[in-house]
């Protein structure tokens, strides 16, 4: 196994929160999003006698080689992390000619791949795409292929859309590929020039709150909206343009230090979402609780978690108590823990 790395490789990706623009990100819109360092997914790869995907000591499946696996797999529903690993491997095999250049006996085609994640499930913190991005990072290290953040985001999106047939937008994969705080213009054709990194210090203090019981999957949330968008329903098209405009206003507000305007735009983003699609009673309750304490709030993603901005940092203790008393989880992101993992190293 002399051609293998000297030690196992690990790819990582963090959770994310959409601050402005979502759900327009899947419909030619714009978005501002930030990586959340407190939660992440990791995928490790190490030498093995066959090709295997694992979620633990007994949960997984194997093939003779990765090439055999990629030729055998068919699209399926995204029900667990192993299927996400499968989609990432299949997409990597389609994109990387290096696999075609390897002989069937090459030891690089035999490895064990295992994922782990502490991102809360089904609460709109992009836990699924984090596993895919982490897997693609690990594969690029294993096969010593250089993949740009832009390409990584496109491959990750294709893994979920093309391999698994999911309704998904680019925002999650872009922020998880680039890291940090970003403004993204997601109108096709997408390009690296349309993604702009912003200084996180421009942001006010934020908090997350989520319902540990989870929410509906993003695929179900976006299914009807995508059909309406494809039909060019006037209300949907107008809403998507309004989301784009709101992102432009938000970026300008950050650059000017106008935190109250950003505060109002977050609230408007949530209100516009409610006018466009059904929002669960629990999600509405979380936002209402935040607003009752003077904070702005909106959904992080498709539902189950909110991101909020208090009027003053002194409000955090009461916010935490009130959310926990109501049965929700509460978190102030630990920005001090941001380091090179933002770029997957």
- Written as one string, the DSSP assignment of 161-193 is IIIT-----SHHHHHHHH-SEEEEE-PSSP-GG
Provide the CA 119 distance to its chain's centre, in angstroms: 10
CA distance 40 to 222: 24
* Cα 191 versus chain centre, distance: 18
Q: How many residues does the chain have?
A: 345
**Catalytic residue selected from 25, 100, 162, 172:** 172
Instruction: Extract the tokens encoding 122.
Output: 């089904």
172 belongs to the catalytic site: yes
Q: How is the chain split among helix, strand and coil, in percent rounded to 5?
A: 45, 20, 35
Strand spans (E) along the chain: 9-20, 30-47, 51-54, 60-63, 111-117, 181-185, 195-198, 207-210, 296-299, 305-309, 329-331
By annotation, the residues acting in catalysis are: 172
């Amino acid at each position: 196994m002399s051609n293998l790395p000297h030690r196992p490789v690990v790819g990582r990706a963090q959770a994310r929160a959409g601050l402005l623009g979502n759900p327009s990100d899947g419909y030619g819109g714009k978005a501002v999003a930030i990586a959340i360092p407190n939660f992440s997914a990791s995928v490790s790869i190490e030498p093995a006698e066959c090709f295997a995907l694992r979620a633990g000591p007994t949960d997984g499946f194997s093939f003779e080689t990765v090439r055999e696996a990629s030729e055998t797999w068919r699209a399926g529903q995204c029900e667990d992390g192993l299927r996400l690993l499968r989609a990432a491997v299949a997409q990597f095999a389609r994109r990387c000619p290096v696999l075609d250049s390897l002989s069937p006996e090459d030891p690089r085609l035999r490895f064990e791949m295992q994922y782990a994640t502490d991102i809360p499930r089904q609460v709109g913190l992009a836990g699924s795409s984090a596993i895919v991005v982490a897997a693609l990072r690990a594969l690029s290290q294993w096969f010593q292929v250089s993949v740009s953040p832009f390409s990584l985001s496109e491959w990750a999106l294709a893994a979920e859309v093309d391999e698994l047939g999911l309704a998904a937008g680019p925002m999650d994969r872009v922020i998880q590929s680039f890291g940090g705080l970003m403004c993204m213009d997601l109108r096709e054709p997408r390009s690296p020039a349309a993604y702009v990194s912003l200084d996180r210090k421009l942001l006010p203090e934020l908090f997350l709150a989520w319902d540990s019981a989870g929410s509906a999957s993003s695929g179900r949330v976006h299914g009807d909206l995508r059909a309406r968008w494809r039909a060019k329903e006037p209300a949907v098209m107008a809403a998507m343009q309004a989301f784009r405009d709101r992102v432009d206003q938000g970026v300008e507000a950050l650059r000017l230090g106008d935190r109250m305007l950003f505060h109002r735009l977050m609230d408007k983003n949530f209100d516009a979402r409610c006018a466009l699609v059904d929002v669960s009673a629990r999600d509405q309750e979380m936002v209402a609780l935040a607003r009752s304490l003077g904070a702005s709030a909106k959904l992080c993603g498709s539902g189950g978690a909110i991101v909020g901005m208090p009027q003053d940092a002194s409000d955090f203790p009461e916010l935490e108590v009130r959310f926990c008393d109501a049965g929700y989880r509460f978190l102030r992101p630990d920005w001090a823990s941001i380091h090179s993992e933002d770029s997957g190293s």
